[in-house]
Amino acid sequence: MLDFPVLAPSLLSADFANLAQDIKKIEDSGASFVHIDVMDGIFVPQISFGQPVVSSIRKCTKLPFDVHLMIEHPENQIDTFIASGADYITFHYEASVHHHRIIQKIKESGIKAGISIVPSTSVETIKEILPYVDLVLVMTVNPGYGGQKLIPECLKKINQLKKIRQENDFGYIISVDGGVNNKTLSSVIESGAEVIVSGSSFFSGDLDWNGKICINGSDK
């Protein structure tokens, strides 16, 4: 059982020539997940890495991999990322049509299914699939580049998701990705985020994380 909030550093901002070394940094930080952003240059402007890289780094750590598919037609790539050692596969609501089918395929393989939404997508839009997912990833920047500024209005979605979860006894956890640094961390945690994804700020040292976050004078 995880003691929330937990940290999930994103490998998108790691040194690609020294991924094993940077995964060790993630382990030493006390993080609970490794967040892996897979980008196809179509759904988002940039291209990152694919299944062979994920498979290669799987042997470097026992930490769970949350593979975040920022790609068009994620249903075509599910099998390869299951085989690569993903523990969670999170795909974008905006990138596919048959969401229930994708979630079912992921969960039938014995791993956890996540859904992600960009800043312009409302919580109401994904309400029908919330009973079936294990994780909801709220993007607080428009995905595709590291180092962007957090869009504060997106944090309201976390309260909405918490309310829906409580009222319906759903089981998903809530993750936030985008613009999390020392200046924004407190507001992100106060909003109720449970998994904190950070890339450029984590690897640049602009995110202080030691498992104990001080908010308004109290330790959380």
Residues 34, 8, 89, 148, CA torsion sign: negative
71, 96 in Cβ contact below 8 A?
Answer: no
Interatomic CA distance for residues 100 and 75, integer angstroms: 11
Locate 208 and state its tokens: 């202080």
Is there a catalytic annotation at residue 79? no
Tally Cβ neighbours within 10 Å of residue 144: 17
Residue closest to 123 by CA, chosen among 55, 74, 192: 192
Interatomic CA distance for residues 78 and 82, integer angstroms: 6
Interatomic CA distance for residues 51 and 54, integer angstroms: 5
Catalytic residue among 15, 22, 37, 79: 37
Catalytic residue among 40, 66, 134, 177: 177
Locate 31 and state its tokens: 């993080």
Is there a catalytic annotation at residue 177? yes
Return the half-sphere exposure (C-beta side, CA atoms, 13 A cut-off) of residue 53.
17
Q: Helix or strand or coil: residue 66?
A: strand
Positions annotated as catalytic residues are 37, 177
